[in-house]
Structure 1
């Protein structure tokens, strides 16, 4: 009986997460197409969406390139959601990877553009993850990090103790080997950093 309840609770939690990821409020806060349109993505670029979730960014990314878009998530149910969306949108250039970022096994210098949306604050070792992302990024390629600012005035978002401030993330990116970085405020609570290898 306990296992059934746990399974149901887990299912409900997953459905709640999908509802949040797909919400109109989130779309207004982070308009995916608008953000992707401003990124240095070309139709011959290979892309990687880490912590892809329900494909909020994966789908618009796949529409911007003729090459492969890798969608990485450790939850196979999230990848199933992306798969269903890709079929619905007739997108055949999305490859699903069930893995953690740390265990990512793509060739070195194989990716032109990486999206890391609201995922870096969840990793165990930021320096290890950024080093891994640096390895798979082509020379001249980009990494876009999107995170909540570490600011006590901003209540919305993950717990303050796991957030990464924009200045700390910028320094971590530079320490990992990325060169130029550009910080943009998306709204009061969320920033992006675009880093280049």
Structure 2
């Protein structure tokens, strides 16, 4: 009985997470299509969605290129949601990868654009994860990071102790070898940093 109760609680938690990830509130906060349209993505680019979740960004990314879009997430159930969405839209260019970003095994220098949306504050080592993304990006490839600002006045979002300030993120990206293209604020709580892998 306890096992069934635990499963039901787990299922409920998962459904609640999906409801938030696909909510109209989140869509109005971070309009995925609009954001993707503003990115330096070409029709033949290979793309990577880190911590893809329900495919909030994966789907518009797949619609913006004729090449592969890697969607990586450790939760098989999330990947099934993406698979169903892709089938509904007739998209066949999404490659689903069930794994943690720390164990990403995509070929080096093979990705033109990567996105890490509201996931970096959850990783065990920011430097390690950004270095892995740097490795898989081609020279001249871009990375877009979306995170909650580390500001005590901003209640919304994850615990302050795990947030990454925009200054810390920019500094870490620069140390790894990225060049910061621009930082923007989506709203008071959320910012984006667009960086490029320097041509050496």
RMSD over aligned CA atoms reads 0.6
Give 1:5 deviation, angstroms.
1.1
Aligned length: 197
Distance (whole Å) between structure 2 residues aligned to residue 24 and residue 179 of structure 1: 33
Contact 1:48 1:70 in 2 (8 A): yes
Give 1:13 deviation, angstroms.
0.2
Q: Per-residue CA shift, 1:52-107, capped at 9, x if unaligned?
A: 00000000000000000000000000000000000000000001000000000001
Distance (whole Å) between structure 2 residues aligned to residue 46 and residue 38 of structure 1: 16
Is structure 2 residue 151 aligned with structure 1 residue 144?
A: no
Q: Secondary structure, in 3 states, of the residue corresponding to 2:33?
A: helix
| Structure 1 unaligned regions, length at least 5 | none
Residue in 2 aligned with 1:29? 29
1:92-171 map, 5 Å: 92-171=92-171
Distance (whole Å) between structure 1 residues aligned to residue 43 and residue 29 of structure 2: 26
Residue in 2 aligned with 1:71? 71
| Structure 2 unaligned regions, length at least 5 | none
Residue in 1 aligned with 2:54? 54
TM-score by length of structure 2 reads 0.97
Q: Secondary structure, in 3 states, of the residue corresponding to 1:188?
A: coil
Q: Per-residue CA shift, 1:149-183, capped at 9, x if unaligned?
A: 00111111001110000000000001111123310
Residue in 1 aligned with 2:39? 39
Distance (whole Å) between structure 2 residues aligned to residue 48 and residue 122 of structure 1: 18
